[in-house]
Structure 1
Amino acid sequence: MALPNQKFQRSGTYKIVLEQYMRQNQLPGLMAVGVRVAKAKAATP
């Protein structure tokens, strides 16, 4: 998970931009990535 504690202050439409930044050269054969946004679970007391 890249941003496990990311919170959005308001409901609505957001734009998520992914960029490869860890390598000098692109990864050969990489055609797609996935993103999952899930509703957080309520904290347990």
Structure 2
Amino acid sequence: MGLMLTFMLLWNMFGALWLLPALARFLIKPEKMAGKVGNSLFSH
């Protein structure tokens, strides 16, 4: 039981690290924010 819990915890942490940047990119859409702010990292 403890081994399964450890595996699920590690899999959940890996999934969060892998999916959160993709979800943030999908939800925030930096292309739209680049038009609003003149001096941003995306304005180059």
Q: TM-score, normalised by structure 2?
A: 0.17
Greater gyration radius:
2
TM-score, L = length of structure 1: 0.17
Asked which structure has the greater RCO (Cα within 8 Å, sep 6+), the reply is 2
